[in-house]
Amino acid sequence: MVVRSTTHALRGAAILSLVVLHLFQDPANGFIQRAWSWLRMQWWFQHDSFEPILSTLWFFPCLALWFTCDLYLPSLHKYRLQPHRTDTSHWKVVANPASGRSHMPTLFFYLAPLVAFDLVFPRRQLPVLAPTAPTLLLEIVAMLLVYDLLFFVCHWSMHHLPGVYPRVHAKHHEKTVTRANDAVRLTLVEEFFDVGCSVVAVNVVGAHPLSRALYDMLIVYLLVELHCGYDMPWMWHNVVPAGLMGGPPRHDRHHMDGRFYFQKFFTYIDNTLGFVPLPPKVKT
C-alpha cells in the first residue's frame, strides 16, 4: 500500500507540474531562453563533440548511483526483481579495473569515432532562440519514441537473424540477472547500432540542440536504470500511467528469456505483436 501511495503521489506531482507549466508558460519560456542564451556562449557547449562527450561522461554518475545501491544500500534490496539472486560480480570490473574486463575500451570506441568525425566535419549550429517549454518536452518524447522504434527492429534482428546473436548480442546476455553496468556490456557492432538509432532519432525529429542535450542525459539514465535489476515505486515505468513504459521488470525478464520484450522503453510494439509471455493457465 505504501509503494502504491508513493507511485500515485509522484504521478500526481508530475501532472501538477505539467498544469503549472501550462499556466505559467511565459515565465517558463523566459527562463529557458535565459538559460539557453548563457549556454550557447560557453566554449564547451559550442564544441562539435559536446553531445557525445556529455553522453559518455553522464554514464559515470548514473552507474555510480546503482553501484551504491547494490553494494552499500542493502535497505533498498527489497526492491530487487530477483531478490534471491545476490550476484554482484557485474561490478568487479568497476572495483578492479585490472581484471581485464573493464568497460573503458567500450567507452573509448564509442567516443573516438564520433569525435574524429566531428573534427573532420564540424557542423554544430546553435540558434539564438531557445525552444518553448512545450516544444522542449515534445521533442524529447518524440526522440525517445523514434529511438525505441528503431531499436526494436535492431534488437529483434539480433535475436532472430541466423548467426547474429552469438556474434553480436550474446555478450550482453552473459548473465540472467541484470545489474546497471550491463547497459555498457556491449559488442562494438551492437554499440554501433545502438548509437546509430539515437543519431537517426535526433535528426529525424530535427530537435533543438537544447532538447538534444536533455535527451542525451535522459536516455543514458533510462538505459542504465533499465538494467539496474530493481522495481522501485518512483521509477519511470511506474509513474507513467497505463503501462506505457516497460522499465526494468520487462527488461529483466528479457534477459531471463530472450523470446519476449524487445522494446527498450515503451510497450506498444511488444504488446501489439505478441512478444509478451502468455498469462498462466487458471486451473479449474
pLDDT in tens, 140-157: 999 999 999 999 999 999
Closest CA to 158 of 146, 144, 172: 172
Looking from the CA of 6 toward its CB, the CA atoms found within 13 Å total 10
Range 77-97 average pLDDT: 75
Range 71-95 average pLDDT: 82
Q: How confident is the model at residue 117 (pLDDT cuts 50, 70, 90)?
A: confident
Q: List Cα–Cα distances, 59 to 65, 184, 257, in angstroms.
A: 10, 9, 27
Instruction: Report the predicted TM-score, pTM, of the whole model to 2 decimal places.
Output: 0.92
Kindly provide the b/e burial profile for residues 163-200, where b requires at least 16 CB atoms within 10 angstroms of the residue's own CB: eebeebbeebbeeebbbbbbbbbbbeebbbbbbebbee
pLDDT in tens, 192-223: 899 999 999 999 999 999 999 999 999 999 99
Closest CA to 50 of 166, 213, 231: 213
Mean pLDDT over the full length of the chain: 90
Give the chain's count of helices (H) and strands (E): 13, 0
- Output 71 or 114, whichever has higher pLDDT: 71
Distance CA 11, CA 242 (A): 12
Residue 156 three-state SS? helix
pLDDT in tens, 14-66: 999 999 999 999 999 999 999 999 999 999 999 999 999 999 999 999 999 99
256: which 3 cell numbers?
531471463
With 70 as the cut, is the pLDDT of residue 95 above it?
A: no
pLDDT in tens, 239-266: 999 999 999 999 999 999 999 999 999 9
pLDDT in tens, 7-28: 999 999 999 999 999 999 999 9
59: which 3 cell numbers?
554514464
Confirm if 141 and 212 have CB atoms less than 8 A apart.
no
Distance CA 206, CA 139 (A): 8
Range 81-104 average pLDDT: 65
Distance CA 27, CA 244 (A): 31
With 80 as the cut, is the pLDDT of residue 104 above it?
A: no
Phi, psi of 210 (to 5 degrees): -70, -40
Question: ∠ CA(3), CA(252), CA(277), 5° rounding?
Answer: 95
The whole-number pLDDT of residue 284 equals 55
The whole-number pLDDT of residue 103 equals 57
Q: How confident is the model at residue 100 (pLDDT cuts 50, 70, 90)?
A: very low
Q: Side chain identity at 205, as an amino acid letter?
A: V
Measure the CA dihedral 69/54/110/185, to 10°: 10
Q: How confident is the model at residue 129 (pLDDT cuts 50, 70, 90)?
A: very high
